[in-house]
Amino acid sequence: MLAVVLCWAYSPIGIHIGLQSYSPGHLALLRFLVASLFMGVVALVRGIGLPRLRDAPWLMVLGLFAIVIHHVALNTGQRWVSPGASSVLAQSTPIFSTFIAAIWLKESVSAWRWCWVGTGLTRALVVIWGDKGLGTFRPQGLLILLAALSWSVYFALQKHYSSRYSPLTIVCYTIWAGTLLLGVYAPGLATQVSAAPVRVNLAVLVLGVFPSALAYLLWAYVLAHTEVSRSVCVMYLVPPVAMLMAAVLLGSHVSGGVLFGMAIVLGSVFAMRRAA
């Protein structure tokens, strides 16, 4: 879980840099071309089995929600908000995941956890206000909530198939399916790659290896061993870690309001982890 948090905390920073030279669709495609190659090497070394023919459509659905909808919406929304605010909105996933886990997966969710899920949502307004001020927030940034919802659907579907396939197998086919669907953005990608500075392309390369391939693999392992509604609680740690990374890598200023929002996030995580 700690490794996943560190990988995903870099994501809004890498996206911020990548959007300097790439459109949202092209950035998503290039990122997952890198991830697909990385997972291809891993699959050759470790070996994976072929999916059942009847599961092939569902693996495409996993790729649609986990890769296409999530990352195109996330990239588009982040054009209108800072990396810090993006990390906060993106981590609304625990709210949607808890609802899906309770209704669809029939997991037992305690009143204590429901309470702190709701409390965790308040950090969105607190951190956005402390980051850039509510007056500068653009409604287009709410596309990041769509990204969070699509990820929640992916988590639930992945949990459903975790008993049939190994984490490595699920992640490989999810990433490859999503990359295939992102192929609609292929026209013009080569031109943008050749025109982008080395610094930007390096940031996208890191995006493809760590927050994408490696983090997805680690997260599949987590979901195979824990309940969805419990494991997603750790994602509340991503925003404060992302803001600290942004301060170091981008020189972003961390205000008192942002620090207060971090306190709410951390308090929510520790309180929710007490719910057994």
Position 274 scores a pLDDT of 57
| Per-residue pLDDT at 276 | 47
**Does an H or E element contain 73, and which?**
helix 70-78
Q: How far apart (Å, rounded) are the C-alpha atoms in residues 140 and 79?
A: 8
Q: Are 178 and 67 in contact (CB under 8 A)?
A: yes
Tokens 């072929």 correspond to what residue? 50
Which residue is it, tokens 């992916």? 154
Q: Tokens 């061993």 correspond to what residue?
A: 225
Burial code (b: 16+ CB inside 10 Å, e: under 16) for 195-205 equals ebeeebbebbe
pTM of this prediction? 0.80
Question: Are the CB atoms for 264 and 116 separated by under 8 Å?
Answer: no
Please give the C-alpha separations between residue 204 and each of 68, 96, 105, 234, in angstroms, as whole numbers.
Answer: 16, 28, 35, 25
Q: What are the average pLDDT values for consecutive 10-residue runs of the chain, which has 276 residues?
A: 88 93 96 95 88 88 94 90 74 67 64 64 62 59 80 78 80 93 96 95 94 84 72 74 84 68 63 55
